[in-house]
Amino acid sequence: MKKNKFFNVLTNILFYSFIITFSLMLIFSIVNNKKGKETSILGYKFYTVLSESMTPTLNKGTIIAIKRADVKVGDIITFKPTSESSNTTHRIIKINELDKVTYVTKGDNNKVEDPKLVTQNQIVGKVEFSIPYVGLLIEYIKSNLFTSILILSLLILVVYVIKYKLKFGRAKNE
């Protein structure tokens, strides 16, 4: 019985530690990207989709994880059109291999392809995976930090009260 309880406690500690650590790293990465600093976690850079140009594949508010990789037609890439512009995430629809390799891109929700070709130097990375709508939560937290801390504190309190009531109820029934 003691082994099971120890194993359950250890598993819970490891699981919640992983979730908290990964969440904090993800939020830190996104906040830094907004400030213009490029940070990565295990080689991935995380960005929030800000427009609906890739709907329904990537909805507004989706977190995307990008990584440097070889790209091909059909891949979704994040690129920086100009040094002053923000990143764009669109799908490669054609590759030109004349003097130098360039890519024709288009948002899935756009009717026409992007007006300018993308060069290899402009590509930040290829979208490896996405987490729908988490970006909306992160944007809310960033813009309403005090409210978010208050809500999180109340949620933690509610979880502990429920856990205590369940534990107390079981102990009373035994």
- What pLDDT, in 10s, does the model give residues 104-135? 999 999 999 999 999 999 999 999 999 998 88
Residues 6+ apart with CB under 8 A from 57: 76, 91, 108
Question: 3 pLDDT exceeds 70?
Answer: no
Which pLDDT belongs to residue 28? Answer: 66
Which pLDDT belongs to residue 143? Answer: 76
Q: Token pair 């930090």 is at which residue?
A: 145
How many angstroms separate the CA atoms of 131 and 60, rounded?
A: 11
Who has greater pLDDT, 81 or 139? 81
How many angstroms separate the CA atoms of 131 and 115, rounded?
A: 29
pTM listed for this prediction: 0.68
Q: Count H helices, E strands: the chain? A: 3, 7
To the nearest whole percent, how much of the chain has pLDDT over 90? 41
Which pLDDT belongs to residue 121? Answer: 93
- DSSP, residue by residue, 21-75: HHHHHHHHHHHHHHTT----BTTBEEEE--SSTTTTTS-TT-EEEEE-----TT-
> In the CATH hierarchy, which fold is given to the domain comprising 2-143?
Umud Fragment, subunit A (2.10.109)
How many angstroms separate the CA atoms of 165 and 43, rounded?
A: 43
Domains in the chain: boundaries: 2-143, 144-174
The pLDDT tens digits for 29-66 are 666 655 556 677 788 888 889 899 999 999 999 999 99
Confidence label for 8 from pLDDT (cuts 50, 70 and 90): confident
